[in-house]
Amino acid sequence: MSKLEGFIYGILNKKSKKTLVVALTILAFFGSLLMFPTQMVLAKMLPGKSDNTFSVYVDTPSGSSIEQTKRMSACVIDFLKKEKEVMNIELFLGQGIPLDYAGLVKGASMKRTENVSEISVNLTDKHHRAEPSFLMVQRLRPEIKNACLPLLPGTNIKFIEQPSGPPTLASIVVEVHGENLEKVRTISTKVAGILSETEGLVDVDIMADEIFSKYELVPDKEKIARSGLSVKQVNNILYLAFEGMVIAHKNSKNSPDQIDMFLVLEKESKSL
């Protein structure tokens, strides 16, 4: 102890030694900071979290049928089935996964369209496997995308892991605001292109409404009257053809409730 005190007092009593210690401390401080940009030491704010589950979001182009979405989802599931660490897989077709931690801010519970599906993947216990879940996702992402995306151009497949910290919409979010919607869409596409080419960024998506054609059907009331029909009847027929509705009920000894009989035109017949 006396030797340590003598060493410390020897530094404090000489100005040259104090200056040397301060200089070495400053040099060590900035040298440690330089380890990050020079990649001598790799670090991140929140390290990867190995979990027992992850999700896959499949977004086909707007207007895609439920059959197309199912085909894309089946392609993803076929790859996941090959993994020995995957215990079970559940597909939510046309809807989101029941609210989980990762989907709190992603709006998963509000998905109710034919062009979306979510796949929940449960893995073996993280203590009983060598590969962490985040490394498994990194390995599977390019394989699945290269095999499945060509089946339906414009589809977006995203791999969602349980976050290490608070749930967020994405690691990086760029918001584009403006009154001219065409320019906003153009700028958003350019930004997405830049992000897609940036090393280390994956699953880039644009959250914007798709451009679609709108048709307005105006009934000819005079012709409808001459045909012995009412405008309401014609509206119901059109609604039944394009949207579908329940037209009757069926009783079954295997079901305590009546079974609805739903009628709608097939996809090819109702194309304008």
Encode pLDDT of 37-59 as tens digits: 887 877 766 666 778 889 999 99
CA angle 125, 128, 133 (to 5 degrees): 60
pLDDT of 190 above 80: yes
Nearest to 56, CA basis, from 102, 22, 87: 102
Task: For residue 88, name the pLDDT band (cuts at 50, 70, 90).
Answer: very high
The pLDDT of 117-142, averaged and rounded, is: 89
Find tokens 């949207």 and name the residue.
243
Q: Tokens in use for 3?
A: 């030797």
What letter does residue 40 receive in the DSSP assignment? S
The pLDDT of 247-258, averaged and rounded, is: 81
The pLDDT of 111-140, averaged and rounded, is: 88
Q: What is the mean pLDDT of the chain?
A: 84
- pLDDT of the residue at 215: 79
pLDDT of 199 above 70: yes
Q: Where are the beta strands (DSSP E) in 199-258?
A: 245-250
- Whether residue 187 contacts residue 202, with contact meaning beta carbons closer than 8 Å, is answered with no
Distance, in Å, from the CA atom of 141 to the CA atom of 266, rounded to the nearest integer, reads: 35
pLDDT of 91 above 70: yes
pLDDT above 90 as % of the chain = 24
- pLDDT of the residue at 48: 63
Residues in Cβ contact with 106 at an 8 Å cutoff, skipping those fewer than 6 apart: 160, 167, 169
How far is residue 58 from each of residues 152, 156, 181, measured CA to CA in Å?
A: 11, 6, 26
SS3 category, 160: strand
What letter does residue 251 receive in the DSSP assignment? -
Q: How far is CA 192 from the centre of its chain?
A: 15
Could you give the maximum distance between any two Cα atoms of the chain, in Å?
115
Task: For residue 10, name the pLDDT band (cuts at 50, 70, 90).
Answer: confident
